[in-house]
Structure 1
Amino acid sequence: MTARKAVSMSGAQLYDTIGATYTVTRRTEPRIAARIWAALGDARTVLNVGAGTGSYEPPDRHVLAVEPSALMRSQRLPNAAPCLVGSAESLPFDDRSFDAAMAVSSVHHWQDPIAGLREMRRVARRVVVFTHDTGDAGWRHRFWLTRDYLPEVANLLAGRPSVTEQAGAIGARMEPVPIPWDCTDGLFEAYWRRPEAYLEESVRRGVSVWARVGPDAEQRAVDSLRDDLASGRWAERNRDLVDLDEAELGLRLLIA
């Protein structure tokens, strides 16, 4: 898949193309889940928007999921919450239908993030969104993978609302979410202390960034990282990471 084609796709179209092995590496990380579930407060009914395969859905509440990708819906477990076809920008529910609405690592796939967030605010009394700050300080220059190997991510962010703009659209407060060094959810930043993992095809296929930058940028980044690991250059550049148990790499909770 070319970078041009991947960038032009909606989130649903992209995951219908690349999402067949999503559950191999993407799963609920208990420490991140605890933060999300605590932010839901005493909500008993929860709408999960852009629900994917069902990670992070709280097991002790009444959850209804909305997911546009047929391939992602097909990978939900039999005991997962019921899932409807739909998109964040046009939720088929009355105002204040749910105690809370949540979205986990999906806002960056929405065609109109601000419209989607406002829809969540409309249908629920509380909104909890797990997303990332893609600004220089929050992500691009702080995380070695984007800083040193994938500068192309800057092109993916052009015209997208910042996390501050997203929070402002729904009156949300922001909380940082550090990533544990042994994070069990293979999200883009998960292997910040385990760089060898990014050399594995199965790890990269679980993250949309790699598809969106395109095969040429991906191969160049992988080759460069492999060389730097072999030469010791990566270890020298990132020696301050070795003793950290968690890292602050721009992941955020928006709570409204």
Structure 2
Amino acid sequence: MSHARLYDAIGATYAVTRRTESRIAVQVWAALGDARTVLNVGAGAGSYEPSDREVTAVEPSAVMRAQRPAGAAPCVAAFAESLPFADQSFDAAMAFATIDHWQDPIAGLREMRRVARRVVVFTKDFSALGLFWLDRDYLPERAGLLLGRPSLAELARSIGARVEPVLIPWDCADGFYEAYWRRPEAYLDADIRRGMSVWARVGPVAEQRAVRGLRADLASGRWSESNRDLVDLDAAELGVRLLIA
């Protein structure tokens, strides 16, 4: 399913569940350096768009574009793989939690590199799924979403990017998939899950099996026993990364 069709189907709650997490935003914005003009590719409802810079957004999904708040940056309906801008039009281009939905992520990254002097991408090292208990113990189907997709190393190499780890705070305000690693009960909430594209992509059978297993393990205390090392962590390394070029 393409980015636009996926988010037209599941994106109606994103403005509520997917808010800017200030501690992650600081890291993203620092990576933008002194860029004054910024292109946000796969911009969704506008999370992480810096308010002190001139931002132009690109978002193919009409459902997502409709959720952009009043006063948000102007938004163009287009795809990452074919950006309607001249070479070097922007100081920087950014993409947040979107490239694994692109039809051709390497083509999209090269387009970002073409239109901007700096590229900053928030993504996931999918070779590190074992770091997160939800993938490891309840949703092995997530690994199947990665078949035929380029590795993090291949993505980085395509634009000459360096890789920077992003730690996820325990009380992360942005409800992306890894956000509730120390608040497991949140994954039992269907409204919270609707803000995570992973569930739509693995399908309802896998989703409900994972939820049943997690609910049972929370009730029995098995989850707490298996993950007792997480209780005192303020932030976790779960394979989330920035690509910076």
Structure-1-length-normalised TM-score:
0.95
Alignment equivalent of 1:73, drawn from 65, 87, 99: 65
Is 1:82 equivalent to 2:74 in the alignment? yes
Tell me the residue number matched to 2:147: 158
SS in 1 for 2:131: coil
Alignment equivalent of 1:112, drawn from 77, 100, 104: 104
Is 1:12 equivalent to 2:10 in the alignment? no
Letter in 2 for 1:179: I
Tell me the residue number matched to 2:195: 206
Alignment equivalent of 2:138, drawn from 130, 149, 152: 149
Measured in 2, the distance between the counterparts of 1:206 and 1:162 equals: 25
Segments of 5+ residues of structure 1 without an aligned counterpart are 1-8
Tell me the residue number matched to 2:24: 32
Letter in 2 for 1:253: L
Letter in 2 for 1:254: L
State the Cα RMSD in Å: 0.5
Cα deviations by residue, 1:184-204 (Å, 9 ceiling, x for unpaired): 000000000000000000110
Cα deviations by residue, 1:136-159 (Å, 9 ceiling, x for unpaired): xx2x11100000000001110000
Tell me the residue number matched to 1:4: none
Measured in 2, the distance between the counterparts of 1:201 and 1:87 equals: 29
Tell me the residue number matched to 1:98: 90
Is 1:59 equivalent to 2:51 in the alignment? yes
Shift of 1:21: 1.1
Is 1:249 equivalent to 2:238 in the alignment? yes
Measured in 2, the distance between the counterparts of 1:153 and 1:11 equals: 17
Identical-pair percentage? 75
Cα deviations by residue, 1:88-139 (Å, 9 ceiling, x for unpaired): 000011110100000000001100000000000000000000111000xx2x
Confirm or deny: 8 A CA contact 1:40 1:126 kept in the other structure. yes
Is 1:127 equivalent to 2:124 in the alignment? no
Is 1:225 equivalent to 2:214 in the alignment? yes
Measured in 2, the distance between the counterparts of 1:206 and 1:228 equals: 23
Letter in 2 for 1:223: R
SS in 1 for 2:174: coil
Cα deviations by residue, 1:212-235 (Å, 9 ceiling, x for unpaired): 110011000000000000000000
Confirm or deny: 8 A CA contact 1:24 1:202 kept in the other structure. no
Measured in 1, the distance between the counterparts of 2:100 and 2:43 equals: 13
Measured in 2, the distance between the counterparts of 1:58 and 1:243 equals: 32
Letter in 2 for 1:64: T
Segments of 5+ residues of structure 2 without an aligned counterpart are none
1:45-56 superposed matches below 5 A: 45-56=37-48
Letter in 2 for 1:41: G
Letter in 1 for 2:61: S
